[in-house]
């Protein structure tokens, strides 16, 4: 049995707490005015309570305090305790900023400062940062100097935090995609035997599952920025730290784990640049918007994106497993190339950047047309 019972207890506590707390947070949101009103960019047509991330955070934190004392001391090193403290302290800052935004709608600059503060707490307060990377075709992990690793870590945390926030546009979308990504981290942590990450991922999954009961379409409550920012921050931290000491896992692995929100964010930046719009200006061109415009229902759109997220997760597990078992680092390069090609094709098909510009599809069409032209000329 080992520590499995600890994971089961922690998951159950987080799940039950999220189920109990979410309706209470819903009532609180209405009482204090933390609500989301419909507008031209939003899918919902009635006033909805926000602040649901508060239930996820409390369920996770309480479950952690319940499960942590049950863990054998031999499985928790000082570094692991530091990791957990960094996640909790930084996560608390993020949730507070998100909750304030859910109620008062803070400016983008204030939210960015809060995210930077949380990232700096993790980096400078607890000394946690990326210090090793593994590039394709390299045989060993390459160390990174502090002058590069510290800003890289801060950019990573802030970037992933905002990526989850950007996809939070449909009922259950951000929570489900985050859950799939955390489930991927859990599987990989089990494979490599990294018990602290197994514990943290299990508790987070329990909290997300309990919240999704009320958040999946038709949603009764939104997670708000308190939830999307917290889940993004947690994903950034767990994906970065979960495999820090596994020298044969490429740094590309965490990129694959959160491939859906990162790719959606990337295409949003490209789309706004192509259309000469401000990078941070909101629009209705995100993946979920485009799928809805193509005629898919609310529920089906969410399930399609769940499937894409699961595919990214499977690729991450495959890539890491192959590299770990054989040391064939070239597999990482192949996976990256295939995924980038597939992403470009998918983006052109649904028009996530521009509905009229399809350079790769047009090029492939011309290639197919040439043999036909030559055969007719003969």
The string of pLDDT tens digits covering residues 25-51 is: 999 999 999 998 876 556 656 889 999
| Other C-beta atoms lying within 10 Å of the C-beta of residue 208 | 28
pLDDT: which is higher, 169 or 253: 169
Residue 225: predicted pLDDT: 95
Q: Find which of 19-33, 251-265, 283-297 is predicted with most confidence, using mean pLDDT.
A: 19-33
- Please name the residue that has the structure tokens 């950047």: 353
Under the banding of pLDDT at 50, 70 and 90, the label for residue 377 is: low
Question: Nearest Cα to 261, choosing from 291, 216, 231?
Answer: 231
Residue 279 burial by CB count (10 A; 0-12/13-18/19+): exposed, middle or buried? exposed
Residue 295: predicted pLDDT: 86
48-69 confidence digits (pLDDT tens): 999 999 999 999 999 999 999 9
79-94 confidence digits (pLDDT tens): 788 889 999 999 999 9
334-373 confidence digits (pLDDT tens): 777 888 888 888 888 888 887 777 888 887 788 777 665 6
pLDDT(185) > 80: yes
199 contacts 71 by C-beta, under 8 angstroms: yes
Query: What is the spatial distance between Cα 130 and Cα 211, in angstroms, rounded to a whole number?
Result: 31
Q: Give the CA radius of gyration of the chain.
A: 21
DSSP secondary structure of 210-232: HHHHHHSSSPSS--HHHHHHHHH
Beta strands in 18-58 (DSSP E): 35-36, 48-49
Query: What is the spatial distance between Cα 22 and Cα 219, in angstroms, rounded to a whole number?
Result: 12
The sign of the torsion formed by the CA atoms of 346, 350, 351, 356 equals positive
Between strands 142-143 and 35-36, the pairing is unpaired
93 contacts 120 by C-beta, under 8 angstroms: no
Residue 374: predicted pLDDT: 59
Between strands 35-36 and 48-49, the pairing is antiparallel
Query: How large is the average pLDDT for residues 242-248?
Result: 43
Residue 120: predicted pLDDT: 94
Burial 326-347 (b: 16+ CB within 10 A, else e): eeebebbeebbeebeeebbeeb
Residue 356: predicted pLDDT: 77
| Phi and psi, residue 228, nearest 5° | -65, -40
Query: How large is the average pLDDT for residues 266-295?
Result: 82
232 contacts 165 by C-beta, under 8 angstroms: yes
Query: How large is the average pLDDT for residues 244-267?
Result: 67
């Amino acid at each position: 049995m080992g520590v499995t019972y600890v994971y089961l207890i922690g998951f159950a506590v987080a799940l039950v707490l999220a189920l109990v707390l979410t309706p209470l947070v819903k009532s609180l949101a209405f009482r204090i005015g933390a609500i989301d009103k419909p507008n031209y960019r939003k899918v919902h047509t009635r006033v909805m309570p926000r602040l649901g991330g508060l239930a996820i955070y409390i369920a996770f934190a309480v479950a952690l305090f319940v499960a942590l004392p049950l863990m054998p001391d031999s499985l928790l090193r000082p570094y692991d305790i530091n990791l957990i403290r960094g996640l909790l302290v930084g996560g608390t800052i993020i949730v507070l900023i998100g909750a304030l935004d859910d109620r008062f709608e803070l400016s983008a600059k204030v939210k960015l400062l809060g995210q930077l503060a949380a990232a700096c707490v993790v980096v400078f307060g607890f000394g946690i940062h990326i210090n090793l990377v593994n590039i394709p075709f390299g045989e060993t992990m390459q160390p990174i100097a502090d002058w590069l690793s510290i800003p890289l870590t801060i950019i990573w945390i802030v970037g992933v935090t905002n990526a989850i926030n950007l996809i939070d546009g449909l009922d259950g979308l951000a929570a489900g995609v985050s859950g799939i990504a955390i489930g991927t981290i859990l599987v990989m942590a089990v494979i490599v035997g990294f018990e602290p990450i197994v514990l943290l991922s299990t508790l987070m999954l329990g909290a997300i599952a309990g919240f999704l009961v009320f958040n999946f379409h038709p949603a009764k409550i939104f997670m708000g920025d308190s939830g999307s920012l917290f889940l993004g921050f947690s994903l950034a931290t767990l994906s970065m730290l979960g495999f820090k000491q596994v020298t044969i896992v490429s740094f590309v692995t965490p990129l694959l784990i959160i491939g859906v929100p990162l790719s959606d964010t990337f295409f949003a930046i490209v789309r706004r640049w192509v259309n000469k719009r401000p990078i941070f200006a909101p629009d209705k061109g995100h993946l979920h918007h485009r799928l809805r415009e193509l005629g898919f229902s609310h529920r089906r759109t969410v399930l399609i994106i769940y499937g894409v997220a699961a595919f990214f997760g499977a690729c991450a597990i495959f890539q890491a497993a192959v590299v770990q078992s054989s040391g064939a680092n070239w597999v990482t390069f192949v996976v990256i190339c295939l995924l980038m090609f597939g992403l470009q094709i998918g983006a052109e098909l649904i028009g996530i950047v521009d509905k009229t510009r399809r350079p790769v599809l047009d090029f492939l069409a011309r290639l197919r047309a040439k043999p036909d032209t030559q055969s007719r000329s003969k």
